[in-house]
Every structure is written in C-alpha cells, then in structure tokens.
C-alpha cells in the first residue's frame, strides 16, 4: 500500500514538472465563450516532452438540474430515539418534576401570585367611544379656491375624502373643526358626523348650513365606497337610525347613496308659522 502511494506521488510530481517546463509552439489558447467547446490540442515541451490538452467547458453557477428546495442546514432534533442521539430517554427534560411530566398554564409561576395579578389595573376602555377624523374649514376653503370642491353643491364626507381634505382611514365619521374659519366668506352646505360650535357659527354666519348626520359602520362604507357593493353584487343598505343615546347629537339620518342637495332646517318662529332654511324638502329625524 505504501509502495503504491509513493509511486502515485512520484508520477504526479513528474507530470507537474513537465507541464511547468513545457513551451507550446502554437499561439496561446483563447478563453472559450460561455458554454462553448474547444477541440483538444497537443503541445510539445522541452526534452521531447509532449502532452494532451483536453476539451473544457464553462458552466453557469445555476442550472436546471441543480434546482432544489431550500433545505435547512441543521436537521430537526429527534428526541427519544436512543442514547446515541444525546436526546434519548428523558429527551432533555431531566428527571421527574412538573416540567418533565407535562405542561402548565401560561403565566403559572409555581403557585405564587403571578405577575398579571400583582400589577394594578389602570383606567378602562370605553366600548361605546367613537373616533372622528378632524377636518378644518381652512382646508375646505383652499380646496374650493383650487376648484376641487364645488361650493354650489352639497359637501359630504365622500366629497372630502375624494378631494383629499381628509385621509382614507375614516373609522366613525368626520368632525368639522373651526381652524381657518375666517376664510369662509361664501355660503356652503356641509354634512358631517360632528361639528364644533365655532365651525357651525362661522358657516351659518356666511349664509350656509352644517348638518350632523348619523351613519353606522356599514352605512359609512356604503357612503364612501359604493363601488364595493357593486363589485360584490350587493344592494346598498338602508340608512340606520341612531341609538337613543346619540339622538341629541345628530340632526338627521344619513342618506344613501351620497346626496347632492342639502336637507332644509325647519325653525318654528310662531305657532303655525315655519321658516325653511335649505334647498329641498326632506323627512327629518323626530323623537
């Protein structure tokens, strides 16, 4: 065995020395193009040495026969498969005890008062709270001056959303704020969920009107995205009445689809006399 290995080593050393001293007579072999073959050629070296240059081929780093799934390098530990695996018998759980026999409830601390009971409670979460997205009068005035909103038509929450006056994430409605109310110098009619006293006074002082309308979650979606119902092949829902605790906070029920004309306000001056403020007659929300 030793003799064979020594003979192999000597033959390799002699072949490498011949290749080092070889002087090819022909021109140097150019580098072959990508995935190309080259015919074998002979070379003649010193002392009558000659050799054979075999054909070679360039391969890309990725080929179809090398594709395979993403196999993890570290295999999954197989527990309880004999002591030779290192995870046999007790499978890494140790001897006896609660942790060796089974599982326990999340947060269990051995019988002492757990952390979730040691810490005090602070505050509460109101399940009936509503989140309204604010919208100032100054932003509405800038959009009217830019020609994106027509002041002669009714301005609804859909109008504000389409023109970019408010964001797209509207949870429970829109609250009209009084920021920039000095820029409102023409009458406008707006329908929103809530409004501040300052904003309502500024709009009414210019000859306009602000109406607080009620929409539930489904009705608000039908107002802002009516194409969603058309895509699903569903009809628009009927307008929902406000709950009893919210009746004093709204003026009327929201209309579907998005209206284009305002609802008039009825103000009783004397018995039998009514003054109409608005453009179109429509049913009101009565107690």
Among 242, 259, 225, which Cα is nearest to 156's?
A: 259
Measure Cα distances from 47 to 23, 172, 247 in Å. 11, 96, 112
- Dihedral sign computed on CA atoms, order 87, 90, 95, 101: positive
**Helices assigned H by DSSP within the chain:** 2-21, 98-101, 115-118, 137-145, 157-162, 197-205, 217-224, 226-232
Three-state SS for 210? strand
Residues in the chain: 287
pLDDT digits (tens, 9 = 90+) for 75-110: 888 999 998 888 999 999 999 988 888 888 889 888
Q: Among 34-48, 83-97, 226-240, 253-267, where is mean pLDDT lowest?
A: 34-48
Q: Model pTM?
A: 0.56
Does pLDDT of 179 surpass 50? yes
> Looking at per-residue confidence, does 273 or 165 come out higher?
165
Contact by Cβ (8 Å): 265, 282 = no
Contact by Cβ (8 Å): 224, 215 = no
């Amino acid at each position: 065995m030793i003799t064979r290995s020594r003979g192999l080593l000597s033959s390799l050393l002699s072949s490498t020395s011949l290749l080092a001293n070889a002087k090819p007579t022909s021109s140097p072999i150019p580098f072959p193009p990508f995935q190309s073959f080259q015919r074998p050629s002979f070379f003649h070296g010193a002392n009558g040495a000659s050799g054979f240059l075999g054909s070679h081929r360039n391969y890309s780093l990725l080929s179809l026969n090398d594709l395979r799934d993403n196999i993890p390098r570290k295999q999954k530990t197989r527990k309880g498969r004999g002591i030779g695996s290192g995870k046999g018998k007790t499978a890494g759980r140790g001897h006896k005890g609660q942790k060796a026999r089974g599982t326990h409830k999340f947060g269990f601390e051995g019988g002492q008062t757990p952390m979730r009971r040691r810490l005090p409670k602070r505050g509460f979460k109101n399940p009936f709270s509503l989140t309204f997205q604010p919208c100032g009068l100054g932003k509405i005035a800038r959009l009217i001056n830019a020609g994106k909103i027509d002041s002669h038509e009714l301005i609804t929450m859909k109008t504000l959303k389409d023109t970019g006056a408010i964001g797209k994430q509207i949870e429970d409605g829109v609250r009209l704020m009084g920021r920039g109310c000095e820029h409102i110098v023409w009458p406008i009619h707006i329908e929103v969920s809530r409004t501040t006293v300052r904003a309502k006074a500024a709009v009414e002082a210019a000859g306009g009107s602000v109406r607080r309308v009620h929409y539930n979650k489904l009705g608000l979606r039908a107002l802002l995205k009516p194409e969603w119902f058309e895509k699903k092949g569903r009809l628009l829902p009927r307008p929902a009445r406000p709950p009893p605790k919210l009746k004093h906070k709204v003026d009327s029920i929201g209309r579907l689809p998005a209206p284009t004309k305002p609802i008039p306000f009825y103000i009783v001056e004397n018995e039998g006399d009514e003054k109409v403020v608005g453009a179109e007659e429509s049913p009101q929300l009565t107690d």
